[in-house]
Chain A
Amino acid sequence: QQPVQSPQAVILREGEDAVINCSSSKALYSVHWYRQKHGEAPVFLMILLKGGEQKGHEKISASFNEKKQQSSLYLTASQLSYSGTYFCGTGDSGSARQLTFGSGTQLTVLP
């Protein structure tokens, strides 16, 4: 079952914040976040494993609520370089090396 991402698209100004959500109908072992720019390969951002952990890298962070089977990606003070399509990939229990990707959230950061 494919995870559901929301919103499908978001447009913001440089410096604004954004939240991208990913929810699954199945129990999750892990959530991976990737960013893909047009015509390029998806690039890994971070992995969250079950346990409700939160991770962050500079101005991009994420949380994982395993009880709710949800993850959220937080982009703070967006930069132009943040533009792209963000995908969450979920790994269910017992098959963590295999991911099911959502349909993506298209983020556009305007100057």
Chain B
Amino acid sequence: EAGVVQSPRYKIIEKKQPVAFWCNPISGHNTLYWYLQNLGQGPELLIRYENEEAVDDSQLPKDRFSAERLKGVDSTLKIQPAELGDSAVYLCASSSRGAGGNEQFFGPGTRLTVL
């Protein structure tokens, strides 16, 4: 079974440029998460989807960040315009529907460097 797929793995851009990250979750997983991970820190939730619905985006900086999950499968996270402080690893994770406490499967992440 394929794991969570993310692309690109690395991205270097200049500040004020737009950038987009793509995630394909494990087949059949209804829940999809986007996390931001700074160096030496744990993942911080940006947004959680249940199928195609964003059920928690309270931590997503909506002035510059946007996300979508069309058809409830793969998802795209966009930053426009990027700032120096956005440099981090962006992780995507997915889990299946069920009782609370289901394990989350993480993708390898996209390492973003903003110059």
Contacts and interface: CB of A to CB of B under 8 A. Distances in A.
What does DSSP make chain A's interface, helix, strand, loop or mixed? strand
B77 interface: no
B42 A30 contact: no
Interface residues of A, number: 24
Q: Which of A29, A99, A101 has the most chain B CB atoms inside 10 A of its CB?
A: A99
B106 interface: yes
B103 A98 contact: no
A97 B106 contact: no
B108 A40 contact: yes
A29 B44 CA distance: 19
Given A97-B95, A101-B42, A104-B41, A41 B107 contact: yes
Given A87-B42, A89-B43, A102-B42, 17 more contacts: A2-B42, A29-B101, A30-B100, A32-B104, A41-B109, A42-B106, A44-B105, A89-B42, A91-B100, A91-B101, A96-B100, A96-B101, A97-B95, A100-B45, A101-B42, A101-B44, A103-B40
